[in-house]
Structure 1
Amino acid sequence: MRFRHRRTAAAAALAAVAVFGLPACSAVLGEEESLVDAASMTVGVKTDQPGLGLDDGDGGITGFDVDVALYIADKLGVPADDVEFTGVTSAEREEKLISGEVDMVVATYSITPVRKTQVTFGGPYYVAKQDVLVRAEDTDIRGVRDLEGRSVCQGEGSYSAVRITEGLGIDVQKTEAPSYSACIDSLREGDVDAVSTDNLILAGFLAEDPSAFRFVNNPFTDEKYGVGLPYGDVRACEAVNKAISEMYQDGTAQEFLETWFGETDLQVVTSVPQFEGCV
């Protein structure tokens, strides 16, 4: 659902246009629809990634991404009661933003040049690193080079395995599943040899079942998690970046990271990320 707007000076000017017949463009010159004017918003998050965005079974969604989204919304003037969360998969994030089904996406959404042609990104709000998760008993895989000739699962709409094959020139058997939770199930059943994606995602799954899996903990790329916004909404992007800066400076980001990943051996980053820019 597209966000509801507050009554702003621009709205008042439009009312005056209706009454007095003034040219609309002169009354609201420079004013464009933006998420910063929202009274409520719908946010797309993952629902199957422990520690990041997970359906809690009682109709709610919890995790680091959810906490970050609520913090940003509050800084934009939208209280938690007026934020609606809805599940999105990796493959449908752009589609739901473009269609207006969601107003913002906070869903382990890596910023890439291709995606930036369709989406305006705030942030990143965290810079994760791609790593590898294997079964606990598999001690042969110590780094990404050890995946040569092995089967690696990636979630639909993700580029994780492609970064290994095309980015690093390592020949792996790429398998795609509807989601990373499905990849983890395949790994558990022995249908694939490894799951490779962002270390925050892997750490969340590992925390749920530490006896079944082993975190290789040998990262090889940077994954910049962006806040997906409607294309061209520069005002919202700038406001989101300001909120992210405050989240790190006031210690909230560190608190969120410790809450969701403190019991894993993941080395989290607690400094303000370098922003991509809004134009």
Structure 2
Amino acid sequence: MRLHQVTTAAVAALALSLTAAACGSGGDGGGGDGHKIAVGIKYDQPGIGLKTPDGKFTGLDVDVATYVAKELGHKPADIEWKEAKSADRETLLQRGDVDFIAASYSITPERLKKVDFAGPYFLAHQDVLMRADDNSITKPSDLNDKKLCSVTGSTSAQNVKTKLAPKAQLQEYGGYSECLTGLENKAVDALTTDDAILAGFAAQPGFKGKFKLGGFRMSNENYGIGVQKGSELKSRINAALEKMVADGSWDAYVKKNLGPSGYKSESAPKIGVIVG
């Protein structure tokens, strides 16, 4: 009898300790109880996802991710922001390093083989950024024999190389800031990625008047929120995105983050509908 009492007490104590440990753990993927949640964003895209020198995070993706996290039950202080470079996004999700990724993450058939997407929540278009005094690039085919910069892991440069300007000299750098430096120093002739990203860079105080967008609209880029393959978060995030559009938050976020650059965005896309 005494042994039974001791064992029961021990089991109860163990259960309490496990419960306490669970309550202190993070990265639960949206349990809705204030636990930490890890979110991947870009750190170097003004207007989209940017880590400022004082350690703060700004941009459309940051606002969207914060809204989604709130709908999943997490306060802003619960969010652990992690850098999600283009080449690392699928790996971060597959390893479980992040719960979801909102990082100018275009939904593509190839990526859908590896991860799932909620959304889309934004429609951008591929474009080209060039020096303001360069009048030699007036159409995509003019990129032939030009030094074209993009970021490793991005689909933008390959799209130009395979479909629009096969003779373009592709230069892949680790980040967009490096491409911009190369463009400014004439090490490259053009930078290609989504127009919303390029507009954010062009609007930065240090770059005003130095660059211009081609306005080519070479592709449709449906930004989605990446989650692990088969994750139940997909449906919950879709519900959050639908609410974000319906209550006017989406319009406010776009105006706040992209309005200052003069960028004219598309209307909010319909959740679940990919624009080809």
Question: Which amino acid in 2 is paired with 1:262?
Answer: G
- Whether the 8 Å contact between 2:40 and 2:101 is mirrored in structure 1 is yes
TM-score, length basis structure 2:
0.84
One-letter identity of the residue aligned with 2:246 = Q
Per-residue CA distance 1:176-223 (angstroms, 9 max, x = gap): 000111111111110011001101110110111221101112211001
The unaligned stretches of length 5 or more in structure 1 are 1-14, 20-32
Alignment of structure 1 residues 101-112 onto 2, 5 Å: 101-112=97-108
The letter of the residue matching 1:191 is: A
Q: Is the 8 A contact 2:151 2:174 kept in 1?
A: yes
Equivalent of 1:69, from 43, 65, 68? 65
Question: SS in structure 1 opposite 2:197?
Answer: helix
Q: Equivalent residues in 2 for 1:141-220 (5 A)?
A: 141-168=137-164, 170-208=166-204, 209-220=207-218
- CA deviation digits over 1:106-162, x for unaligned, max 9? 111111111111111111111110001000101222221221221110101112111
**Within 5 Å, which residues of 2 pair with 1:242-253?**
242-253=239-250
AA paired with 1:251? G
> For 2:203, what is the secondary structure of its paired residue?
helix
Q: How many angstroms does 1:276 deviate by?
A: 5.0
What's the CA shift for 1:238?
Answer: 1.1
1:47 corresponds in structure 2 to: 43
Residues 118 and 276 (structure 1), Cα distance of their counterparts in 2 relative to 1, 3 Å cut: farther
Q: Which amino acid in structure 1 is aligned with residue 130 of structure 2?
A: V
Shift of 1:36: 4.1
Cα shift at 1:271? 2.5
Runs of 4 or more above 4 Å deviation:
none
Structure-2 separation of matches of 1:243 and 1:71? 8
**In the alignment, structure 1 residue 265 sits paired with structure 2 residue 274:** no
* SS of equivalent residue, structure 1 residue 35: coil
Residue type at the aligned position of 1:206: A
Corresponding pairs, count = 247
- TM score, norm. by length of structure 1: 0.83
1:24 aligns to what?
A: none
Paired residues of 1:41 and 1:103 also in contact (CA < 8 A):
yes
Q: In structure 2, what is the Cα distance between the partners aligned to 1:101 and 1:274?
A: 26
- Answer yes or no: is the 8 Å Cα contact 1:245–1:272 preserved in 2: no
Select the residue among 251, 254, 269 that pairs with 2:251.
Answer: 254
In the alignment, residue 212 of structure 1 is paired with which amino acid?
A: K
The within-5 A match list for 1:81-120 is 81-120=77-116
Task: Give, in angstroms, the shift of residue 70 of structure 1.
Answer: 0.2
Moved more, 121-130 or 243-252: 243-252
Q: In 2, distance between residues paired with 1:191 and 1:169?
A: 19
Corresponding residue SS for 1:86: strand
CA distance in 2, matches of 1:266, 1:59: 26
2:29 corresponds to: 35
Q: Structure 1 vs Structure 2: percent identity of aligned residues? A: 36
Structure 2 portions without partners, runs of 5+: 1-10, 16-26
Per-residue deviation at 1:272?
A: 3.1
Contact 1:248 1:270 survives alignment (8 Å): no
What secondary structure sits across from 2:67 in the alignment?
Answer: helix
Contact 2:30 2:74 in 1 (8 A): no
Instruction: Supply the AA of the counterpart residue of 1:37.
Output: G
